[in-house]
């Protein structure tokens, strides 16, 4: 075995690091990793069979995504938010997403509405199967397709960035079947508002769609503080 082959075998494929990022992101979203929980390099190296420098890259990317933060003398931990930060984040998300709904050209072209419906069918199936990972990923695809209707890439990127920042907040709603069903129904309400050209209904459902995850996190934090 020559030196080049040995080096290739020792260097993980870029996909391995991205797979670790995606898995840890899902662990945070679904509450398998809790706010304030430490992420140690040694544990991640063993779990994902990655070298230390790659694990550090994974943690750095999670920090950029806003779901992990570095604390002095502690290391990397799952991001936790105060009640005030939660309220401020969701207030900003409401401003961005309701504004997007107010600006979407109506009526929506049939082909683009059909594409959104196709994504929602995937979300329906994931909810029906109780597959949390598929629910999460199809939900992301739905919102990406939905906000692309505005044809404003800058606003779409801002919406996606702040949605990702709230991943550590959303575990309370994604873990519960009732919340997932409510989200599914609200997606269809968005589709119907788009089909009917009903902008007021569209803006209302976009505003209300954000509330369950915010409120579930605040309730969980209040219970945690009460237990202490």
Whether residues 61 and 173 fall in one domain: no
- For the cut 50, the answer to whether the pLDDT of residue 130 exceeds it is yes
Task: Indicate whether 148 belongs to any domain.
Answer: yes
Out of 29, 54, 78, a domain closes at 78
Contact 61, 127 (CB under 8 A): no
Which stretches within 36-174 are classed as H helix?
41-48, 52-65, 83-103, 110-129, 132-148, 153-165, 171-174
- Convert the pLDDT of each residue in 8-27 to its tens digit: 444 445 689 999 999 998 88
State the distance between the two ends of the chain, measured CA to CA, in whole angstroms.
58
Task: Indicate whether 51 belongs to any domain.
Answer: yes
One-character DSSP codes across 29-70: HTTSS-TT-EE-HHHHHHHHT--HHHHHHHHHHHHHHTSEEE
Whether residues 63 and 89 fall in one domain: no
Whole-number Å distance between alpha carbons of 202 and 101: 6
Whether residues 175 and 119 fall in one domain: yes
CATH (domain of 62): 1.10.10.10
Out of 59, 78, 97, a domain closes at 78
**What's the mean pLDDT in 47-67?**
93
Whether residues 155 and 87 fall in one domain: yes
Which range is most confident: 59-68, 121-130, 150-159?
A: 121-130
Whether residues 62 and 104 fall in one domain: no
**What's the mean pLDDT in 79-106?**
94
Whole-number Å distance between alpha carbons of 58 and 64: 10
| Residue count of the chain | 228
Beta-bridge partners for 69: 77
194: left (phi over 0), alpha (psi -120 to 50) or beta: alpha
Contact 103, 115 (CB under 8 A): no
**What's the mean pLDDT in 200-220?**
91
- For the cut 90, the answer to whether the pLDDT of residue 109 exceeds it is yes
pLDDT at site 175: 67
Out of 46, 78, 110, a domain closes at 78
Whether residues 125 and 212 fall in one domain: yes
- Convert the pLDDT of each residue in 151-192 to its tens digit: 899 999 999 989 888 877 876 666 678 889 999 999 999 999
Q: What angle do CA 184, 189, 192 make, to 5 degrees?
A: 130
Pull the structure tokens for residue 163: 């949605």
**What's the mean pLDDT in 80-97?**
94
The 10 Å Cβ neighbour count of residue 194 is 23
Our count of domains for the chain comes to 2
Pull the structure tokens for residue 81: 């938010």
Question: Strand 68-71 relative to strand 75-78: parallel, antiparallel, unpaired?
Answer: antiparallel
Residue 164's φ and ψ, nearest 5 degrees, are -65, -35
Contact 63, 69 (CB under 8 A): yes
Whether residues 27 and 128 fall in one domain: no
pLDDT at site 88: 95
CATH (domain of 158): 1.20.120.530
What share of the chain in percent tops pLDDT 90? 62
Question: Which residues form the domain of 195?
Answer: 83-226
Task: Indicate whether 179 belongs to any domain.
Answer: yes
Please state the pTM of the whole predicted model.
Answer: 0.81
pLDDT at site 195: 95
> What angle do helix axes 177-196 and 132-148 make, rounded to 10 degrees?
20
């Amino acid at each position: 075995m020559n030196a080049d082959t040995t080096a290739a075998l020792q260097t993980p494929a870029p996909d391995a690091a991205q797979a670790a990022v995606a898995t840890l992101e899902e662990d945070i979203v679904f509450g398998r990793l809790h706010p304030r929980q430490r992420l140690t390099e040694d544990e991640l190296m063993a779990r994902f069979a990655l070298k230390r420098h790659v694990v550090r890259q994974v943690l750095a990317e999670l920090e950029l995504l806003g779901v992990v933060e570095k604390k002095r003398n502690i290391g990397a931990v799952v991001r936790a938010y105060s009640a005030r930060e939660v309220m401020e984040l969701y207030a900003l998300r409401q401003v961005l997403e309701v504004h997007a709904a107010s600006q979407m050209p109506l009526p929506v072209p049939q082909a683009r509405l059909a594409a959104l419906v196709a994504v929602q069918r995937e979300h329906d199936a994931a909810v029906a199967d109780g597959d949390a990972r598929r629910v999460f990923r199809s939900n992301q695809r739905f919102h990406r397709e939905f906000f692309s209707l505005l044809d404003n890439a800058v606003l779409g990127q801002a919406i996606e960035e702040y949605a990702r920042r709230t991943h550590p907040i959303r575990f309370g709603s994604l873990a519960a079947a009732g919340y997932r069903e409510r989200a599914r129904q609200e997606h269809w309400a968005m589709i119907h508002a788009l089909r009917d050209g009903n902008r007021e209904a569209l803006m209302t459902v976009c505003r209300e769609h954000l509330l369950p995850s915010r409120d579930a996190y605040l309730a969980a934090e209040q219970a945690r503080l009460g237990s202490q």
